[in-house]
Structure 1
Amino acid sequence: MNTMLFFLPMFPQADLVDAFLRANTAGKALVVLLLIGSVVAWSIMVTKFREYRRATRESKRFLAVYQSEPQPLALIVKRQSFFGCPLYMMYRAACRTLHGLIEARGINPAEWFVSQPTESTPKLNDTDMKIVRNIIDQTVDEQVIQLEKNVVVLATAVTAAPFIGLMGTVWGVMDAFGGLAIQGMATISSVAPGISGSLITTLAGLIVALPSLIAYNMLTSRIRILSTMMEHFAEELMADIERHSLRK
């Protein structure tokens, strides 16, 4: 309960606690459920924001190193670390595929990667280039899936949490008016506590949904940015591979 209260400092905590205590059993259960959902949503938000920040930072660092290399394909031989970098994962997958293609021709892959391309450099045919391109595209898809992992939970929280809260409110109001029918009293003082207790579930649902909505929009925007970076790098990488192999 304290986690939810933390995000609403403008409301007196005593009033919220009192409203929670006045809620019926179903309402309290739904508030607890929404509290658990809030904890899960916030943990995903923090984790994904850190992941995207690292991915963006490492991608920019890798791209700067890659573009500064006179022989870009030789970067794989240096074994530099770019942890959490989707661009490097694409580059590594392409180089591993090239390694297999070159080695199958009885040529030392390490020398092929670091050597300056000449007319005698082994050439890649159209089939080889298609294989490399397919591997790059497959790696892009895998990286996008990894970036999108668990983001759907936030979308679910955005849509489901308000309705769960509303269900608790309707349930509580029904109980409150049902109690009035039994007692035969219809005063504001008799119905207000029950309604107050029932509204706490709607408030809890909004507390879960609003931060999740903001985070979801921000995260999907960052996914689009990283996806665009990967698409552009895929084209750049393929162009460098073609130049290096002197493909006719």
Structure 2
Amino acid sequence: MKEPLFFAAAVARPLSTEWELVYIWSQARPEGKVIIICLFLFSIMAWSVMISKALQMRRARKLNQYFLSAFRSQKRLLELFDRRVEAEGCPLFVVYQAGCAELDARLRGADGETRRRHVSLKGMEHVKRVLENAVAQEALKLESGLILLAIAVSGAPFLGLLGTVWGVMSTFAGVAQQGTATLTAMAPGVAAALITTVAGLLVAIPSMFGYNWLLHHLRVLTVELDNFAQELASKMETEFLAED
């Protein structure tokens, strides 16, 4: 006799939970519903940023590996540049392309026809600055969008707390006006007020983990860009810098 009752209670539990959320939503005040809707939109924004940035960084890592293999296997530094190879979405290739374009312009000079064998020290300094600028631009591209996650992490809990405080304040004000401080009169309003804090945490917690994960991989990619720029500049000096 006990087993059917136990299974019946287990089956009925999800239905009661679903009804509980619907009931709390129906008891929420208009300002609480507005805050929950805003938090829902924050959640969609945060998840879209996390997914898109994760795919972008994954693609960048794979393309960087393929490009480094091709770059280190070439015999001449400008071999890939002369072949007009394209690698869209590869940060290292963008840095290589920018540096080689500037180096090629310095080697060809004003006539732009024949390429000289060497470049002056002043010209090489200009090439290095172009490499540094390309590294900075690629780092900014990889970092774009992370500010939205930072806003979700820091702002969502406070927005939820605002809804909770506002809802509790309205509940106690209504109880004071009615003159009856019973649990039945207070519980629906307090529960509806607390749901905004829960919604804020549900937005902030995944955003926090996603932001830290993306920030770690961003730092790794930035270090790879810096190291590659230094390696490229060193090879350019070895192959093309004129000896005094």
TM normalised by structure 1 equals 0.88
Take 1:12 and 1:211, find their aligned partners in 2: how far apart are those partners?
Answer: 22
Take 1:105 and 1:69, find their aligned partners in 2: how far apart are those partners?
Answer: 28
Residue 152 of structure 1: aligned partner: 147
8 Å Cα contact 1:170/1:198 also seen in 2: yes
Matches within 5 A, 1:125-144: 125-144=120-139
> In the alignment, is residue 226 of structure 1 matched against residue 231 of structure 2?
no
Letter in 1 for 2:204: A
Give the paired residue count.
229
> In the alignment, is residue 80 of structure 1 matched against residue 75 of structure 2?
no
Residue 125 of structure 1: how far off its partner (Å): 1.5
Residue 118 of structure 1: aligned partner: none
> In the alignment, is residue 210 of structure 1 matched against residue 205 of structure 2?
yes
Take 1:126 and 1:17, find their aligned partners in 2: how far apart are those partners?
Answer: 72
Matches within 5 A, 1:1-248: 12-104=17-109, 106=111, 108=113, 112=115, 122-248=117-243
Take 2:83 and 2:167, find their aligned partners in 1: how far apart are those partners?
Answer: 65
Take 1:14 and 1:92, find their aligned partners in 2: how far apart are those partners?
Answer: 59
Take 2:241 and 2:155, find their aligned partners in 1: how far apart are those partners?
Answer: 56
Residue 242 of structure 1: how far off its partner (Å): 1.2
8 Å Cα contact 1:102/1:108 also seen in 2: no
Residue 81 of structure 1: how far off its partner (Å): 2.5
- Flag as ranges the 4+ runs of structure 1 deviating above 3 A: 105-109
Letter in 1 for 2:47: W
Residue 17 of structure 1: how far off its partner (Å): 2.2
Take 1:198 and 1:107, find their aligned partners in 2: how far apart are those partners?
Answer: 71
